[in-house]
Amino acid sequence: MFELRTLGLFAATGQSLEKEERPMSFGKTTPILRIFDEAKAKEFYIDFLGFSVDWEHRFGEGLPLYMQVSKDGCVIHLSEHHGDGTPGAAMRIETDELEELHGQLLASEYRYARPGIEIMPWGSRDMSITDPFGNRLTFTNAIST
């Protein structure tokens, strides 16, 4: 009986029972990078790169940390959980202020990295930095369209 009423409702409103076709849409990507030491992660991502901690989560005291850091439109999740990624991941972060970022990083005198800007064979300018856990972040002026 419910189906008949539903059919009548669709017929009365002129709606179709067929699924409306529309293009599939995807949202932003949020990478999850594996970390092993909260203090080293914060020294690198917050103090050196200038990200902010948006939130932190632990299932209980003494358990692994999962946190979100961000800077402008770039959002990264950092996780101490065993199954959340493998050290040695690589990601590209687009910026139209590569030279300014480069200058800020060099001025910070972080003792474990002095990144340089490279002109790539495909024409972009890239600056790669490896975090204390082996993950490579490449800041690039190659802006997607």
Instruction: Spell out the long-range contacts of 129-132 with Cβ–Cβ below 8 A and sequence spacing 24 or more.
Output: 129/49, 129/105, 131/33, 131/35, 131/41, 131/44, 131/45, 132/35, 132/37, 132/40, 132/41, 132/43, 132/44
What is the rounded CA–CA span in Å between residue 75 and residue 78? 10
What's this model's pTM, rounded to 2 decimal places?
0.81
Per-residue pLDDT of the chain (145 residues; tens, 9 = 90+): 445 455 555 555 555 556 678 888 898 899 999 999 999 999 999 999 999 999 999 999 999 999 999 999 999 999 999 999 888 999 999 999 999 999 999 999 999 999 999 999 999 999 999 999 999 999 999 876 5
Nearest to 92 by CA among 65, 57, 122: 122
What is the rounded CA–CA span in Å between residue 2 and residue 4? 5
Residue with tokens 């946190």: 67
What is the rounded CA–CA span in Å between residue 101 and residue 97? 6
Element (H, E) at 74: strand 74-79
What is the rounded CA–CA span in Å between residue 95 and residue 141? 5
Q: What is the pLDDT of residue 85?
A: 87
Q: What is the pLDDT of residue 21?
A: 81
Residue with tokens 């300018």: 125
Q: What is the pLDDT of residue 109?
A: 92
What is the rounded CA–CA span in Å between residue 90 and residue 108? 23
| Alpha carbon of residue 5 to chain centroid | 47
Residue type for position 81:
H
